[in-house]
Structure 1
Amino acid sequence: MFDVSAAATGQILTIILMAIALGMDAFSLGVGIGLKGVRLLDILKLSSIIALFHVLMPLGGMITGQYVSGLLGGIATSAAGALLLLLGGHMVYSSIRGGAVHSFDHRTIWGMLVFSVSVSIDSFSVGVSLGMFSAHVLLTVLMFGLFGGLMSVLGLMIGRRASRSMGGYGEALGGVILFAFGLLFLV
């Protein structure tokens, strides 16, 4: 006999674990940006936008469903990896060049959108896959948003605290972290 409550509990635990896994991108990005130096208000704004994208992207993926799941999985991961490589490389370059180059500004709306999309795009392909399995849509997107936001706050706070003791090397280290995660996405 099949226990319905055990199946529901298993599905909820699976969704939470997936939300944590997808939130790790936001965490790593947060550490990288936090090492660059970030104000508390910027942490709140950036984390809120990341949480919103962690809701919208899988929702869009779930709506898209099975039509493009095979095609999109690799493309989304590759695009996120390339974007993180570019952002990380630019941060390292700007820290080496000092004031001679304009660094990517995470405080502008454009900067926040680029960072949010870069860590949320894999949520879209996961949403496409979940759409095929009829996962509970509201629970799934709310968990993804919650953990995406929380993980980004945690990463930003850790990076912010570490940047105080690292001085000028914080931005370079943050860029190296983003670059490394970009390579992991592409490999």
Structure 2
Amino acid sequence: MIAIIVQTLLISVSVAMDAFAVSIGKGLTVSRVRPGDAVRSALWFGGSQALFLILGHYAASAFSAYVTAFDHWIIFGLLAFIGGNMVHEAYEEDAENAKETAQFDWKHMLPLAVACSIDAFAVGVSLAFMATSVPFAILCISVVTGLFSAAGLYIGRAFGAHWQKPAQIAGGVVLILIGVKVLLEHLGVIAF
């Protein structure tokens, strides 16, 4: 049980890294972070993560009976792909992040929230095959993403872009490692 909670928390932090990195970028563009901006950012990113997790979970649940024999490969593949993509994007986003605006209206936040939640759809697919409480995972990932995005605004404002790339790389590496762990568990190499 503890291992599942720790795994869920690690996934939560990892999936939140895209929103965290984008929020740091937004924090760079504001003269000061107002509490309302932090709340809006948290709701946009956390809510979008929840929606995409649910959509991914339900999409996969429809097919789970057909793929249980190789579900560990699906989990590994998705998490390794998402993690690798996060690491790759960390090195390509400097120009993109320079275009961030200080606006927090729906026209600016919706595309950012959706872009940061595409990975959550794939994680939602993975949740359908993992031994975890899906409602707990969705709640945990959404809340952690919201908190990280709000914190990212303040960190971006205070410290600049120094933490943006390392956060995204760390999130990607953790997802890859969780995928490897799931694969090795299902293959009987390790047991937790």
Structure 1: state its 5+ residue gaps. 1-7, 95-102, 164-172
- Under a length normalisation based on structure 1, what TM-score does the superposition of the two structures give? 0.65
Q: Provide the C-alpha distance between the structure 1 equivalents of 2:157 and 2:96, rounded to a whole number of angstroms.
A: 19
Superposition deviation, residue 42 in structure 1: 1.6
The aligned residue for residue 139 of structure 2 is 142
Question: Which deviates more from structure 2 when the two are superposed, residues 137-146 or residues 25-34?
Answer: 25-34
Superposition deviation, residue 25 in structure 1: 1.6
C-alpha contact (below 8 Å) 2:27/2:154 kept by paired residues: yes
- Under a length normalisation based on structure 2, what TM-score does the superposition of the two structures give? 0.64
Cα pair distance change 1:129/1:90, threshold 3 Å: closer
Q: Provide the C-alpha distance between the structure 1 equivalents of 2:103 and 2:126, rounded to a whole number of angstroms.
A: 31
The aligned residue for residue 130 of structure 1 is 127
The aligned residue for residue 30 of structure 1 is 23
Cα pair distance change 1:23/1:119, threshold 3 Å: same
C-alpha contact (below 8 Å) 1:62/1:130 kept by paired residues: yes
Q: Provide the C-alpha distance between the structure 2 equivalents of 1:115 and 1:29, rounded to a whole number of angstroms.
A: 8
2:9 counterpart (13, 16, 36)? 16
The aligned residue for residue 108 of structure 1 is 105
| 3-state SS, counterpart of residue 132 of structure 1 | coil
Moved beyond 2 Å, runs of 4+: 66-70, 72-75, 88-92, 103-106
1:44 counterpart (34, 39, 56)? 39
The aligned residue for residue 3 of structure 1 is none
The aligned residue for residue 89 of structure 1 is 95
What is the aligned length? 156
% identity of equivalent residues: 23
Q: Provide the C-alpha distance between the structure 1 equivalents of 2:136 and 2:97, rounded to a whole number of angstroms.
A: 36
The residue identity in structure 2 corresponding to 1:158 is I
Larger Rg: 1
Structure 2: state its 5+ residue gaps. 65-70, 173-192
Q: Provide the C-alpha distance between the structure 1 equivalents of 2:152 and 2:42, rounded to a whole number of angstroms.
A: 10
The aligned residue for residue 178 of structure 2 is none
